[in-house]
Chain A
Amino acid sequence: MNAKTKDKIATVVFYLITLIIVATLLGLLGVILTNGIQVIDWEFVTEGPGSILTGGGGVGPQLFNSFYLLILTMIITIPLGLGGGIYMAEYAKPSRMTQVLRTSIEVLSSLPSIVVGLFGLLVFVQYTGWGYSLAAGALALTVFNLPLMVRIVEQSLSAVPREQKEAALALGITHWQTILRVLLPAALPGIVTGTILAAGRVFGEAAALMFTAGMTTPMIDFTDWDPTSPFSPLNPFRPASTLAVHIWKTNAEGLAVDAQDIMAGSAALLVIAVLIFNLGARWLGRLIQTRLTSSSK
């Protein structure tokens, strides 16, 4: 076989590989969405789970828990991530401590989420005495999400042109003021995009939550918005199963008559949410970019 024929065959193979991957993705999304759409209606999104014997009901509380847990996690992660990222990009000198920090970030971000969940079980659930709770779940998710957040902030800050920083310093303002007034605004589009993408990851996470936020949702009363009341949806010390955990538990228990429908509907909701996060992140990043640059005159 001469070289030209081989080249043609190889090219065809590469096209095939691409085709396989794209077809797999489209097939995946197709199956999830077509199976799920049949199940999803207003009742499924708002109502609580029905009886396991008769089926029916929905995943309203689980959906709420997913969003609430995401917000709680972000309240802890964003300030810490900004601090860590600023330190890495601006203050860290090439020293031993920086090296330890960099390795820690790398190791933390490659830990399996189930290990993070077990750590959460030991420390945030058992040691603190909170039991399975939203707070424990949020802290476990912070452990899982923080290294990613630090990396996003560091990369966005490092991508700001050097001249902007030098100009600011030359005007006589201090380093910290330069960071707050010049570097952070310039890095904002990147930080926002990265944060929303990270949020999408948190939204679908289950392994870190099974043993921290728990796998059940007790009766909650959606008219009671006092965070200290045990029936309030806002109480951070109540157990809460998220949408992703709910899918896993429905399958593992296999008790509900309509388990297949519950899983299909929840999976479609999760995927739709992730797609919205994905598109929204890009759109918002671009919007901030144009607001900051062109319309600032």
Chain B
Amino acid sequence: MEAKENRERTDSLSESLKKPLPKILRAERRGRVLTYVSSWVLILILFSLIMFITSKGSSTFLDGEVQLANFFSTTWNPGEYQFGALSFILGSLIVSVCAALVSAPLGIGAAIFMTEIAPNWGRKILQPATEILVGIPSVVYGFIGLSVIVPFIRENVGGLGFGLLAGIIVLSIMILPTIVSVSVDTLQAVPNHIRQGSIALGATRWQTISRLLIRTSLPGLMTGVVLGMARAFGEALAVQMVIGNAPNLPFQLLEPMSTLTSVITLNMGNTVQGSAYQDVLWSMALVLLLMTLLFIVLIRWMTKRSDLSS
């Protein structure tokens, strides 16, 4: 009698031991669901962002409020219903391409210095320097541009000071850290035996750098430059503060001009909601979004190429 009871007890015990505690299982499932939900939030945010900006930006044209030809012209005169945004699109493009051109040699040079010439102390100085440059808020860059660079240009180069040149200088400092950090990563990924082989053949350091390192890592270096360009393209406040904000075509270094971001930041707050003027600003935001997506596609394509070549 007692033996049987005992066996029953051990049986049920072994049964329950075979299964994990339901409490633990529940926690396991809950954790999984929680993390799953938070990652879906990300996707949801991105898709609603694209959807909202696209529908708001394209309705300007779909409602027939403003013709596409009007939008892609160069005459900007909202009072007369002239909403030509082409000079702003060109302005954004030119200022960011020029900033990248100024910043690329400096950034890549600094990266080479950190990896090839003085890996120890060079890195100890430049690494924190670029990190601080990243951390400085963009309005502060704008303020520096306003109080140092603009007066300097006005007194030493000519013009009002506000304009393309000031914008290029401010943006090229802002995107420098991006170019440096991507370039450092790329150069470090070049296998050491390539350097050793070159030195063993009697090449100088500069020959090794210019003929081997830069060539093997070119796709990666270019990715950094394009990333910097994308950052410059989307930068709003620092540019707005130094660019001059006149609806001119952006072909004179010392003339005030405008970019997509500067026009949006200046006018979105003080135009009437639902007016054609504000709807055009939303269309400019859509152009900005599309250009950013284009930059991302370009960067993806380039990263794929650099993965293939290494």
By a beta-carbon cutoff of 8 Å, the part of chain A in contact with chain B is: 3-4, 6-7, 9-11, 13-15, 17-18, 20-22, 24-25, 28-29, 31-32, 35, 79-84, 86-88, 90-92, 100-101, 104-108, 110-116, 118-119, 121-123, 143, 146-147, 150, 174-177, 179-180, 197, 200-201, 203-207, 210-211, 215, 244-245, 247-248, 251-252, 260, 263-264, 267, 270-271, 274-275, 277-278
Contacts and interface: CB of A to CB of B under 8 A. Distances in A.
Contact of B139 (A9, A20, A176, A206): A206
Nearest to A18: B113
B34 interface: yes
Given A18-B122, A112-B261, A206-B137, A83 B37 contact: yes
A84 B137 contact: no
Contacts of A35: 147
Contacts of B52: 119, 122-123
B259 to A, nearest CB: 11
Contact of A248 (B39, B47, B110, B241): B241
B69 interface: no
Which 10 pairs of residues, A with B, have the shortest CB-CB distance?
A112-B234, A204-B137, A83-B38, A87-B35, A17-B109, A176-B31, A7-B204, A10-B206, A114-B236, A7-B206
A118 B264 contact: yes
9 contacts: A18-B125, A24-B173, A25-B129, A113-B236, A116-B49, A143-B49, A174-B25, A197-B135, A274-B135
A99 to B, nearest CB: 11
Contact of B137 (A10, A110, A270): A270
A100 B25 CA distance: 29
A265 to B, nearest CB: 11
A29 B235 CA distance: 21
Given A80-B38, A88-B39, A207 B236 contact: yes
Interface stretch (B155-163, B182-190, B285-293): B285-293
B32 A176 contact: yes
Contact of B109 (A14, A32, A204): A14
B12 interface: no
Nearest to A82: B38
Given A110-B230, A200-B135, A271 B106 contact: no
Contact of A112 (B20, B24, B236): B236
Nearest to A4: B204
Interface in B246-284: 261, 264-266, 268-269, 282
Contacts of A111: 49, 234, 289, 292
Contacts, number: 250
B295 A110 contact: yes
A13 B108 CA distance: 12
A6 B206 contact: yes
Contacts of B131: 278
A263 B46 contact: no
B147 to A, nearest CB: 7
Contact of B140 (A14, A121, A245, A247): A247
Nearest to B133: A25
A21 B43 contact: no
B28 interface: yes
B204 A13 contact: no
A114 B37 contact: no
B3 interface: no
Contact of B207 (A3, A11, A20, A24): A3
Given A244-B137, A271-B136, A101 B39 contact: yes
A105 B131 CA distance: 22
A39 to B, nearest CB: 13
Contacts of B90: none
Interface in B127-161: 129-133, 135-140, 142-144, 146-148
A244 B139 contact: yes
A175 B289 CA distance: 40
A277 B134 CA distance: 13
B200 interface: no
Contact of B27 (A20, A80, A122, A176): A176
